[in-house]
Amino acid sequence: MSASHDPAARAAQLRRELGHHNHRYYVLDDPDISDADYDALINELRALEAEHPDLRTSDSPTQRVGARALERFAPAEHRQPMLSLANATSEEELRAWVQRSERVLTKQAQHGDPSGPTLRGQDARTSFVTEPKVDGLAISLLYEDGVLVRGATRGDGEVGEDVTQNLRTIKAVPLRVEGAPDLLEVRGEAYLPRAAFARLNEERVAAGEAPFANPRNSAAGSIRQLDPRVTAGRPLSMWAYSVGALEGLSFATQTESLDWLREHGFKVNGDIARHDELEQVVAACRWWEERRESLDYEIDGVVVKVDDLDLQRRLGVVGREPRGAIAWKFPPMTATTVLERVMWNVGRTGHMVPFAELAAVQVSGVTVKLATLHNEEDLKRKDVREGEEVIVTRAGDVIPRVVSPTAKALRRRQRGPVPAPPAQCPACGTDTIKPEDGVWTICPNRASCPGQRFQAVKHFVSRGAMDIEGLGEERALAFLEGGLIASTADIYELTQETLTGLEGFGELSARNLVESIERSKGQSFHRVLYGLGIPGIGFVNARALTRHLRTMDALLAASPEEIEQTPGIGPILARTIAATLSEEATRELIERLRGHDLQMVDDGPDPRAGQGPLHGKTLVLTGTLPELTREDATERIEAAGGKVTGSVSKKTDYVVAGEEAGTKLAKAEQLGTEVLDEAGLLALLDG
């Protein structure tokens, strides 16, 4: 067999052979030739393609390493939205989901839908498929006539990023699918095997580079590399788990589609199983959880799907979540480590806030060194001591939290003292006090404690208050320490001249900051009031007060009794608010801000005037909406007479669910609260 005879035929043969070897090696994990022999084949093909550029095809194995770097990724619109999944965190929720699915199907069947679901006996019953929920990056692969034409990330579910060049470098991604229908979209999870991740990190450390925090992050980061050669250097793999858009072929069940994918060169997890009974589903979830640590890939749960694809479609979509599938999430991971020290911070209102310094430990994929201890009472209740072992978790899988001492720590005969709040404020050294009836030890130096002032400035510039872009935590601290500002009002006296030349400031950034400070003067009165940081006036109460009393002058002149007339404000809050407002320091701050033309009058709609379409309705927002920001949505709901609260209860009329809706959506389902997506909300707003 000589290349000189017929280059085209030889090239085709090499491609076929290399495709076979790639599949054996990367998908089946069972190579049948040596690496050297493989290299010889690919080099021969490269040489051939270099000599005859017209022989180079986009599905050639040599094209797995893209040639040039991109400037940024093009948007890639999904043929079918890539939805997120509802979560079940307990067996009960999983059972509830199964029962609910079957109930919905039964109801549809009873309504005599002629093409209704298959019934077995009285109730609609179906089989379920359990699949590992791999912690990686969801991707979509689009094949036209069997050739990979586009690979995309999930993005917002509607539009992702075109990362075709990078996905081509993944050996488990077939570039060509023999016997594929006209159009085929395969969905899967790109991930970095644990062993490969460990190796990669060793190499990075050896090369003096920072190691990656966890396989998930490095997989996501690798795929979003602009230069595909970097991606090619990362040993990524991919599990295929479903078929999206499809033309020229159809599947009756999830199982059938997975079998097809497996037979056509995709890597499909071999432990995916089908079950007829709920008990088997639960058992499978437990089985995965037990094996979790021993797998070569990270999983954070199990996806349970209704096997019958027609039934899946019938179950429909609520919010952004298909009802035909659910993610059974493993309980948040905990870890054991040593509580090295209990430290204290000063909160905005002067509270001493304890936090834990921990011996660094991995908790569900990230390194944790600090964790909240909440407050003094909580600290006492938890019964932890410095130098002892504690259990750490991540609340909502995000915020590190000390749960309790370990059993071992509790068994110690001689335990250290219960950590006590400091006698002096850690920020200003003033003697702390603990009011008789209070839970918190406080720093009484409200006016000039640098800790409290920092918190006050941080709060004032924050997103919910004046939202001053370019003035974050770090700069606020630098300005305070540099003596540039002493209070929030001083922010409005910063000029381009004072800023230019300061550490980190050029002419441009100085101008930008001055501009955004100027812009913040347009923020509405309720934001200003909230920004003052008066105890008891959070975002909601600020809104209520400005609505009710309309102007700063009216508020300053109001007696506690008058303030109490505001909906949501009772006698206790009214008294403390009036007291704080009458303090000299508060008055002075307000007058200075007024001097800088901040809004002191509510120009919003008078709630008594309009009766909007949402009048008297309570809504809860959860997840990320496709278009509206949370603030926009809140504003529009309120303009329509509705109220937005933070948690779902019996009083909630609607839950508006977006991307990655959390527990609130689950709660809504449980209570039977009506769930809307953004379009549904907009429709309501229009009446």
Taking alpha carbons only, the member of 140, 298, 139, 154 closest to residue 216 is 298
Query: Which residue, 199 or 369, has its beta carbon nearer to DNA?
Result: 369
Task: Write down the least CB distance from residue 573 to DNA, Å.
Answer: 3
Taking alpha carbons only, the member of 269, 191, 279, 205 closest to residue 236 is 191
Task: Write down the least CB distance from residue 109 to DNA, Å.
Answer: 34
Query: Which residue, 175 or 532, has its beta carbon nearer to DNA?
Result: 532
Rounded CA gap, 81 and 85, in Å?
12
Task: Write down the least CB distance from residue 377 to DNA, Å.
Answer: 4
Beta carbons of 299 and 134 less than 8 angstroms apart: yes
Taking alpha carbons only, the member of 543, 525, 531 closest to residue 468 is 531
3-state secondary structure 37-56: HHHHHHHHHHHHHHHCHHHC
Establish how many alpha carbons lie within 13 A of residue 480's alpha carbon, considering only the half-sphere containing its beta carbon. Answer: 21
At 10 the three-state DSSP class reads helix
3-state secondary structure 140-203: EEEEECCEEEEEEECCCCCEEEECHHHHHCCCCCCCECCCCCCEEEEEEEEECCHHHHHHHHHH
Task: Write down the least CB distance from residue 131 to DNA, Å.
Answer: 23
Task: Write down the least CB distance from residue 559 to DNA, Å.
Answer: 15
In the complex, the residues that contact DNA under the rule CB under 7 A are 212-213, 217, 221, 345, 347-349, 351, 353, 355, 366-372, 374-375, 377-378, 395-396, 398-400, 438-439, 455, 459, 533-542, 567-574, 618, 622-623, 643, 645-647, 649-652, 660-664
Rounded CA gap, 524 and 552, in Å?
12
Query: Which residue, 306 or 625, has its beta carbon nearer to DNA?
Result: 625
Rounded CA gap, 13 and 635, in Å?
64
Beta carbons of 223 and 236 less than 8 angstroms apart: yes
Task: Write down the least CB distance from residue 580 to DNA, Å.
Answer: 10
Taking alpha carbons only, the member of 168, 126, 118, 127 closest to residue 147 is 168
Rounded CA gap, 674 and 677, in Å?
10
Taking alpha carbons only, the member of 152, 176, 133, 317 closest to residue 245 is 152
Query: Which residue, 365 or 605, has its beta carbon nearer to DNA?
Result: 365
Task: Write down the least CB distance from residue 210 to DNA, Å.
Answer: 10
DSSP state of 118: P
Rounded CA gap, 429 and 50, in Å?
74
Rounded CA gap, 126 and 123, in Å?
10
Task: Write down the least CB distance from residue 350 to DNA, Å.
Answer: 7
Helices (H) and strands (E) in the chain, counts: 25, 22
Task: Write down the least CB distance from residue 220 to DNA, Å.
Answer: 7
Query: Which residue, 424 or 645, has its beta carbon nearer to DNA?
Result: 645
Query: Which residue, 182 or 378, has its beta carbon nearer to DNA?
Result: 378
Please name the helix (run of DSSP H) or strand (run of DSSP E) that holds residue 285, with its range, or none. Answer: helix 278-291
Beta carbons of 321 and 388 less than 8 angstroms apart: no
Query: Which residue, 126 or 201, has its beta carbon nearer to DNA?
Result: 201
Task: Write down the least CB distance from residue 442 to DNA, Å.
Answer: 9
Rounded CA gap, 438 and 619, in Å?
33
Task: Write down the least CB distance from residue 167 to DNA, Å.
Answer: 18
> Which residues, at least 6 apart from 47, have a Cβ–Cβ distance to it below 8 Å?
none
Beta carbons of 494 and 517 less than 8 angstroms apart: yes
Query: Which residue, 490 or 660, has its beta carbon nearer to DNA?
Result: 660
Query: Which residue, 347 or 641, has its beta carbon nearer to DNA?
Result: 347
107, 133, 171, 664: the catalytic one is 133
Task: Tell me if residue 133 is catalytic.
Answer: yes
The partner residues of 86 in beta bridges, in order of sequence, read 326
At 216 the three-state DSSP class reads helix
Query: Which residue, 406 or 618, has its beta carbon nearer to DNA?
Result: 618
Query: Which residue, 430 or 496, has its beta carbon nearer to DNA?
Result: 430
DSSP state of 601: B
Rounded CA gap, 453 and 451, in Å?
5
Burial 384-400 (b: 16+ CB within 10 A, else e): bbeebbbbbbbeebeeb
As annotated, the active-site residues are 133
